[in-house]
Chain A
Amino acid sequence: MNIGIRRVGLAVTALLVVLIGQLTYLQVVDAKSLEHDPRNARDFLKDLRSPRGTIVSADDQIMAQSVPSHDEYRLQRTYPLGALVSQIVGYQSIVVGNTGLEKTYNAALAGRGRKDVFRNAIDSLRGKKPVGNLTTSVRVDVQLKAKEALGEQRGSVVVIEPATGRIVAMYSNPTYDPQPLAGHVTSKVQAYFDFINNAPGNPSLPHSYREIYPPGSTFKVVTATAAIDTGLTTLDRVFPTLTFLPIPQAPNNPIFNFGRESCGGDLIQSFTNSCNTTFAQLGLELGNQFPPHMQQFGIYRPPPLDIAPGSVASTGPAFNSFDQNKPRFALAGIGQGDVATTPLQMALVAAGIANHGVIMEPHVGRNVLDGDGRVVSTVPNKPWTTATTPATAAQLTQMMINVVKSGTGTAAQLPGITVAGKTGTAQTAVGEFPHAWFVAFAPAEAPKYAIAVLVEHGGNQQGDATGGHLAAPIAAQILRYLLIG
């Protein structure tokens, strides 16, 4: 019997030792990923009760801060600027979770970013809970300008520093007030959340980086770059002057110029006057070479924006689908058909040309500071993608200067400052008014700002709307404010 007892005893002991093995796995090997799993409520609950840093704009305005509250959480997150910056800052919500900068920089705001063991120890001895204050590149005054310029019209404005990728303004109308979402009463928060999700125009969706639109002729910047880079054309190649271009595989659907006018000439003239026939032809000539060049500009991939849940990807025709679907490549040449972009992506296209072909990662965060104002971490300026060569970028700059000087974008001229830009009037669904676009950067010789303006479905001008008449003046207004004051 003793042998049996020993063996069973050993077996049971072995079972208990297995438990120690599994516990070691859970509590040491896998511990970090379990602890910070997004489905683990602990970090979130801890953050709600802990001091949290402020989010400050580039012009020193508080965009988010925690103030004492008299409920069990002891702190209430407040958003003094409300709807003006909500699509950037986001919110911290017990009920629907965090979003925006509040989510991306959550750990930093909660003070978990500081690796300085010494200072952490000192603070912990002093009973001081660490917080991280986030400084950003957003300028509230520019946000306000964008809001005023759009007025009641639905649309988006995105302003970027081409050399750094810092976002100066990113506003879209409609927007929403984040304050009710940060409340602590579940039923009220849920009711408001449902309300903004069902409101007309979907204000809870940041249209500037999470909605895609046909970019129309602003996309000719991409088409022209691809055509020059592949050697299909030089600036002085002369294109036929046409009123429409017949399209292979679609004999009944030729592509007309805007207003059914005749249009043509060399590449510069075609670009300045935005000839659809020229760029549809280039789309066809590029064929399967076109999508890879779009990809170099960032199409097909979400830009690495630091605003959770991030940007959506812009779209284009499928790779290697030219033989099956030639008309889609002709349409892609003029920014229609399969091509659909976020306003952010079009601002990045302009920024890429402005920055000698290199598109920087778009970001809002700048520095995380500790409670004493020391820099804990810095958000780096990093190249995202190389859209083209400096030489081609210089040629595109020249073409875009011409658009504003003597082409479709004259409304964007500024006194004493050279503006490079491109207009777009994008057809949408049948029976809907077109989207008015304008992308630009200035000063053209040493670009400080790149901008994309989109006014949805004709805005106030309805059927008469064009990029040049509706969007370009808005861009000019904002660039004037930024560069002249």
Chain B
Amino acid sequence: MSGRLSPLAHARRTRELSLGALALLVTAGGYVLLALSKAPTVPPRLWGFLAAIAALFVCAHLAVRRFAPRADPTLLPLAALLLGIGFVTISRLDLNATKFDPAVAPAQSVWIAVGIGAFVLTLFLVRHVRSLARYRYTFLLIGVAALLVPLVPGLGVEINGARLWVRLGGLTFQPGEIAKVLLVIFFAAYLVEKRELLSSGSRRLGRLNLPDPKHLGPLLVPWGVAILIMVQQKDLGSSLLFFAVFVAMLYIATLRSAYLLAGAALFVGAVAIAYQAFSHVQERVSVWINPWVDSQHTGYQLTQSLFAFGSGGFAGKGIGLGTPNVIPVNRSDFIFAAIGEELGLIGTVAVIGAFLLLVGSAYRIALQARRPFSQLFAAGLATILGVQTFVIVGGVTRVIPLTGVTLPFVSYGGSSLVANFVILALLLRISDESAEEAEREVANQARLVAIESAHA
């Protein structure tokens, strides 16, 4: 198959494979260390485990080779690294599993397989990014519907005080995760179409140029609805994420800092209202300001998280050698604290570094994209990954008030994994498209030069 690849595609896929091998090595190393912390023998299931993760990675790699051969070579290995670190951490936390806190690594491995399936399917189905723009209103509708589903009696379930999940058969699913991606498609398409109108402004209010509400309305209404739904479902983290992504995309499309100011003002207003209206918002804020006052109750989660980071110190306790089982919700929201305890600052900075590279690559893909829609869409997806990482890591390290979202690729959670794999596939699709167009342009140029020199 590689024989049919262009030199660029060949080089990129080779690099992806070798970087992927490194990610697998790190994962396997973590798995061995975890086993060694309990017994002085190499785990008997090591080879099976290695074969399984290698097979999963190769599956994803082959799909990229087949459907997006020129795509950026760093995204998939970085995702594999984060996934590996997350899986080892989840397996480690499973060592302390109890009747009330059962093991989740088996479920997570199934979800990883499902996520890779979704990845391959996305690459297969979405051959041209611009085709997505065509269905923008359909995606808007599906996105809002997906946000609403958990509120339907009988389908929706409430977990930890937030009603975000749908239970179908034995499986719970969080449709909001996918809605995120769908709504970003809508925003990107709509903003690209209307950006001239939105950035020039046709109404004057004093010294301010305001865009026609006719054009702004279709943006603000679905966005407002999305936020209201999330507030209703008590999903503060997603509201925050959504808000940030929307403002960022609006700014990228129009380059008008007035939107940033308006966004900031709206944010402050929304926070003030939410603070007044919801006791759980007040609680989050007061715990953030001082988690030690009520460290046994409202501040318990956060202080336990901070203790984990402090106990890990610079080098960490070592995989399997700490006590991360005392951290609440340690497989999902607080998984980063568990990493902080056992891998130390070295590990946490490595994970943040991987996210920096991942998000950086995603923005580079946005910059290299040839069409405005692809650019804006890629930037929106990059912002989702970056801001989501900031919201949860900032929450568990007390940089900002804690709001529960998953750490992309690392946390346990099926819907989140599937959504992030879809984001990954879409970014690779955009990257492949721009590389292909660049290649074609170079080829055309070469042909032109050849024709000109033939005429001369």
Contact = CB atoms under 8 A, between A and B. Distances in A.
A27 B383 CA distance: 27
Contacts of B393: 19
A217 to B, nearest CB: 47
B222 interface: no
Interface stretch (A40-48, A100-108, A332-340): A40-48
Interface in A12-51: 12-13, 15-20, 22-24, 26-28, 30-35, 37, 39-42, 45-46
B228 to A, nearest CB: 25
Interface stretch (B110-118, B161-169, B310-318, B443-451): B310-318
Contacts of A3: 255
Interface in B365-382: 366-367, 372, 375-376, 379, 382
A39 B397 CA distance: 17
A30 B303 CA distance: 13
Given A13-B356, A26-B397, A5 B307 contact: no
Q: Which of A6, A8, A28, A41 has the most CB of B within 10 A?
A: A8
B313 A22 contact: no
Nearest to B322: A42
Given A1-B372, A5-B252, A41-B323, A31 B379 contact: no
Given A26-B309, A27-B312, A9 B382 contact: yes
Given A22-B397, A27-B340, A5 B312 contact: no
Interface string B333-369: 0000000100011001100100110011001001100
A42 B390 CA distance: 27
Contacts of A31: 309-314
Contact of B360 (A9, A24, A42, A46): A9
B324 to A, nearest CB: 10
Given A1-B253, A5-B366, A16 B356 contact: yes
Q: Which of A16, A32, A41 has the most CB of B within 10 A?
A: A16
Nearest to B251: A4
A413 B108 CA distance: 81
Contacts of B303: 39
A2 interface: yes
Interface string B252-282: 1111000000000000000000000000000
Contacts of A6: 363, 367
A20 to B, nearest CB: 6
Contact of B379 (A8, A32, A37): A8
Contact of B310 (A11, A15, A35): A35
B306 A34 contact: yes
Contacts of B399: 18-19, 22
A407 B389 CA distance: 82
A1 B309 CA distance: 39
A9 B363 contact: yes
A35 B323 CA distance: 12
A16 B383 CA distance: 12
Given A37-B307, A40-B310, A12 B398 contact: no
Given A8-B383, A46-B323, A27 B314 contact: yes
A4 to B, nearest CB: 3
A23 B367 contact: no
B42 interface: no
Interface in B389-446: 389-390, 393-394, 397-399
A7 B386 CA distance: 14
B352 A16 contact: yes
Contacts of B138: none
B420 to A, nearest CB: 16
Contact of B349 (A5, A9, A20, A33): A20
A385 B356 CA distance: 59
A230 B133 CA distance: 96
B417 to A, nearest CB: 21
Contacts of A20: 349, 352
Contact of A35 (B253, B313, B363, B383): B313
Given A3-B255, A5-B367, A23 B375 contact: no
Contacts of B285: none
Interface residues of B, number: 48
Interface in A199-220: none
Nearest to B397: A22
A29 to B, nearest CB: 10
Contacts of A16: 352, 355-356, 359, 386, 389-390
B295 interface: yes
B129 interface: no
B344 to A, nearest CB: 6
Contacts of B359: 9, 12-13, 16
A44 to B, nearest CB: 10
Contacts of A30: 310
A8 to B, nearest CB: 5
A62 B355 CA distance: 56
Contacts of A32: 310, 313
B310 A33 contact: yes
Contacts of B252: 1, 4-5, 8
B348 A27 contact: yes
B307 A8 contact: no
A28 B313 CA distance: 6
Q: Which of B307, B311, B348, B389 has the most CB of A within 10 A?
A: B311
B340 to A, nearest CB: 7
A46 B317 CA distance: 12
Nearest to A41: B326
B62 interface: no
Contact of B390 (A2, A4, A15, A39): A15
A19 B307 contact: no
A1 B295 contact: no
Contacts of B306: 26, 34
B19 to A, nearest CB: 20
A5 B376 CA distance: 8
B380 to A, nearest CB: 10
22 contacts: A5-B379, A6-B367, A8-B251, A11-B248, A12-B383, A12-B386, A13-B359, A20-B352, A23-B345, A23-B397, A26-B340, A27-B313, A27-B340, A27-B344, A28-B345, A31-B309, A32-B313, A34-B306, A34-B311, A39-B303, A40-B307, A42-B323
Interface of B: 248, 251-255, 295-296, 303, 306-307, 309-314, 322-323, 326, 340, 344-345, 348-349, 352, 355-356, 359-360, 363, 366-367, 372, 375-376, 379, 382-383, 386-387, 389-390, 393-394, 397-399
Given A16-B386, A19-B389, 13 more contacts: A1-B376, A15-B386, A15-B390, A19-B394, A22-B399, A24-B345, A26-B310, A27-B340, A31-B313, A35-B311, A37-B310, A40-B311, A46-B323
| Among all A-B residue pairs, the 9 with the closest Cβ atoms | A34-B310, A4-B252, A9-B363, A12-B386, A40-B307, A27-B345, A26-B309, A15-B390, A31-B313
